[in-house]
Amino acid sequence: MTRTILITGAGGGIGRACVNHFSEKGWRVIGIDRADFGEGFPADGRFIKADISHPDSVETIFQKVKDFHPTLDALVNNAAVQVAKPLIETTVEEWDAVMASNLRSVFLFVKLAHPLLKKNGGAIVNVSSVHAIQTSANIAAYATSKGGLLAFTRAMAIEFAPDNIRVNAILPGAVDTPMLRAGLGRGHVGSGDMQERLDNLARKTVSGKVGTPEEIASAIYFLADNEQSSFMTGQALVVDGGATARLSTE
């Protein structure tokens, strides 16, 4: 039977790669993003333009989801925003915007997705970040939201296990996405042009490269597929090219 997945942040780097990867594997994809997806969304799927940071929007989204298909086999909570600035310069409005998009939206989505996932025994994959476990300067709000998502993943896994719903998190490292490129303006990898900054970042990684959205999408697929990761729940899968394996003093 054709499986159905809901992906938030479907228009971004990792989200778009997930849309393509799951569709190629034969899944029916429902994508959510506050920006237009543009060309190429799967013809047998459904794209919904909405801002998931607003609670009222989430109710409307799920009515459209249920109209499209009455059950879900997986949910990927991928949507996120990032504020890259010193903590003492971060405004309350910016802090709240990050938490609303990166953490509160997950809370709202899993509550409404739960009955749809429970019917078939589905999976939830929360896209966290290596910043949840090791971070850097001028990205405090983002790191905090992603750390909270790890704790929330464990709590969900415990509560949803009786309903045969698995919940795991993936922690991407440096992946070449629009968000990563925007964040390179923090100056932590030099001040050259974009390619120079990406090259400097790659040299800091054990694998010597920056990851691709497709590599992350493949790992997300593993966690979402009940045939491949049936004995995993409440876990955090780090996919970072070895970045967190190296001591910062080396």
Reported as a pLDDT band with limits 50, 70 and 90, residue 160 is very high
- Mean pLDDT (the chain) is 93
Name residue, tokens 């970072």. Answer: 240
What does the domain layout of the chain look like in residue ranges? 4-173+212-240
Reading the block at residue 40, the tokens are 């190429």
Whether 142 is a known active-site residue: answer yes
Residue 153: closest CA among 168, 142, 163? 168
Residue percentage of the chain with pLDDT more than 70? 96
| CATH superfamily of the domain spanning 4-173+212-240 | NAD(P)-binding Rossmann-like Domain (3.40.50.720)
- Which member of 41, 109, 142, 152 is catalytic? 142
Residue 199 has pLDDT above 80, yes or no: no
Which pTM value belongs to this model? 0.93
pLDDT tens digits, 107-121? 999 999 999 999 999
Residue 182 has pLDDT above 80, yes or no: no
